[in-house]
């Protein structure tokens, strides 16, 4: 009989302990809710203030100059650069607020994980900035190579500029990932092998295919000091007046109806007589 009457007592005692534990947790829950609400409002105000300051100092104009807006559009991000920075600080503050609320409730495991995440954000931010600036530099070098090769009359300039651009993109991407804390040793070694093979094959094939073209370009550079438009020259029993001169050839006019194109390397390798 005593054993039967002890079960209600055990149940009531367990219920009493549970209620006391729940009541002791209530202040922590209320405190965490208050921290979350006030912290959320504070984070919104700070983010809005940062965005407003960046707009006043014309940060969006600077982002347009380095083509950040183009990268954002390619990533389907419908935010301006200043709004994106404001959002970044908003979520940073929100994580700090959640970490504080978790500590208030005694959830130390949650706060430790959030703290580890926050410690990675500076490296991630530096990696993003490095990637954006590196892409801008790679685009500038691509355009420079393309314009230079076009001025020299090299038809393969677009291919060369595209190859250099994607090579720089790969280097910038790997460096940014390494800055963000990603181990890129395996990727880097494989990429170096691939790029070495491509460069070796391209150099051999291009050197063989463009031997005559390169000879004409070099000869054109040196022949400009000797031969000018308007001179009358004789080469291989052909006599005419130079009417046009480029990096790879000269055009001489024999009579009113006939013109001859002479590769520039022949002006260097053959005997040329300058009549006037």
Confidence of residue 77 (pLDDT cuts 50, 70, 90): low
pLDDT of 78 over the 50 cut: yes
The two tokens of residue 244 are 């046009």
Phi, psi (degrees; rounded to nearest 5) at 155: -70, -20
Q: Rounded CA gap, 145 and 234, in Å?
A: 37
pLDDT per residue as tens digits for the range 113-160: 777 777 777 777 778 778 877 877 888 888 888 888 777 666 667 777
Out of 39-43, 80-84, 105-109, 269-273, least confident range: 105-109
CA–CA distances in Å: residue 195 to residues 137, 164, 199: 20, 11, 6
End-to-end alpha carbon distance in the chain: 137
State the pLDDT at residue 22: 58
Model confidence band, residue 4 (pLDDT cutoffs 50, 70, 90): very low
Pairing of strands 273-274, 232-235: antiparallel
Residue with tokens 């009358």: 232
* Mean pLDDT taken over the chain: 76
The pTM assigned to this predicted structure is 0.49
Mean pLDDT of 63-79: 67
Look at residue 262 and give its three-state secondary structure: strand
pLDDT tens column, 157-175? 777 788 788 888 888 888 8
pLDDT of residue 26: 67
Q: What is the pLDDT of residues 189-234, one digit of tens each?
A: 777 777 777 777 767 766 676 666 666 676 667 677 778 888 888 8
Give residue 276's pLDDT band: very low, low, confident or very high (50, 70, 90).
confident
Map residue 183 onto helix, strand or coil. Answer: coil
3-class SS shares of the chain: helix, strand, coil, % to 5: 75, 10, 15
């Amino acid at each position: 009989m005593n054993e039967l009457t002890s079960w209600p007592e055990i149940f009531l005692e367990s219920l009493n302990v549970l209620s006391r534990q729940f009541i002791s947790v209530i202040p922590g829950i209320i405190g965490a809710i208050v921290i979350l609400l006030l912290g959320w409002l504070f984070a919104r105000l700070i983010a809005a203030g940062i965005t407003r300051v960046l707009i006043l100092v014309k940060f969006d104009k600077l982002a347009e100059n380095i083509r950040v807006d183009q990268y954002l559009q390619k990533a389907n991000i419908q935010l301006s650069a200043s709004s994106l920075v404001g959002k970044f600080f908003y979520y940073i503050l929100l994580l700090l607020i959640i970490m504080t609320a978790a500590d208030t409730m005694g959830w130390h495991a949650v706060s430790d994980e959030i703290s580890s995440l926050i410690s990675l954000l500076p490296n991630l931010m530096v990696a993003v900035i490095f990637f954006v600036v590196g892409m801008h530099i790679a685009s500038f070098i691509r355009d420079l190579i393309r314009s230079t090769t076009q001025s020299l009359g090299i038809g393969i300039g677009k291919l060369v500029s595209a190859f250099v651009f994607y090579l720089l993109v790969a280097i910038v991407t790997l460096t940014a990932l390494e800055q963000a804390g990603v181990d890129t040793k395996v990727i880097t070694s494989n990429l170096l092998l691939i790029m070495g093979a491509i460069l070796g094959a391209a150099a051999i094939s291009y050197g063989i295919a463009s031997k005559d073209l390169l000879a004409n370009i070099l000869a054109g550079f040196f022949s400009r000091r000797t031969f000018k438009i308007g001179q009358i020259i004789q080469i291989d029993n052909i006599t005419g007046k130079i009417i046009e001169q480029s990096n790879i050839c000269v055009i001489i006019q024999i009579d009113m109806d006939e013109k001859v194109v002479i590769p520039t390397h022949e002006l260097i390798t053959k005997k040329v007589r300058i009549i006037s």
